[in-house]
Chain A
Amino acid sequence: QVQLVQSGAEVKKPGASVKVSCKASGYTFTSYGISWVRQAPGQGLEWMGWISAYNGNTNYAQKLQGRVTMTTDTSTSTAYMELRSLRSDDTAVYYCARDLVAAAAPDAFDIWGQGTMVTVSS
């Protein structure tokens, strides 16, 4: 079945970096883009950015520009999200999510990973 499986929970110190993986299966990985969405404890959803698994094009939320990098490895059908210079307010569950439509921009997300909890604490 179509699924996205994410890497496990992380605990990081302020200033460190974290890299979360998202392994796709059950579909042609390069046909759909992947977005990353995060959710701080008890809060709503925040879109972080998007990567085309077809050509690697990216679009990041402006507030994260310079701290976030999204990549893909088509040989393993895996997407990655790296966030640097972590702060306490980066503590959140991080989700990867697949585009509903194979297109050049994100639209709706029909398949989600299970989420990865990233805790930033000294």
Chain B
Amino acid sequence: DIQMTQSPSSLSASVGDRVTITCQASQDISNYLNWYQQKPGKAPKLLIYDASNLETGVPSRFSGSGSGTDFTFTISSLQPEDIATYYCQQHDNLPLTFGGGTKVEIK
């Protein structure tokens, strides 16, 4: 199985800050990497698919980059409504696997 390692596991930032989360795959997954946002008590929401494609309706302050084994997710200007846990997920090989999550809080 492909292991997905996310870091940090949590972070605290101020409104307006640039926030960056990384996700490392245990082997080359090309660009088959997605990012989700999950708020407490809610289902995950797809933000970015195939490493850098913004899902329809998702604000442009969210972006993703990377290929191979190393990927980055960025919030360009953190907003209060962005408080959530973010997960990466690979779909290069079955079983699909998720990163451990990054909890984003407001400082």
Contact = CB atoms under 8 A, between A and B. Distances in A.
Interface of A: 35, 37, 44-47, 50, 59, 61-62, 95, 97, 100, 105-110, 112-115
B100 A44 contact: yes
Contact of B34 (A95, A108, A112): A108
A113 B44 CA distance: 10
B43 A95 contact: yes
Contacts of B96: 35, 47, 50, 106
Contact of B46 (A35, A46, A59, A110): A110
B43 A47 contact: no
13 contacts: A35-B96, A45-B87, A95-B44, A97-B44, A100-B49, A106-B94, A107-B32, A107-B91, A108-B50, A108-B89, A109-B46, A112-B45, A114-B43
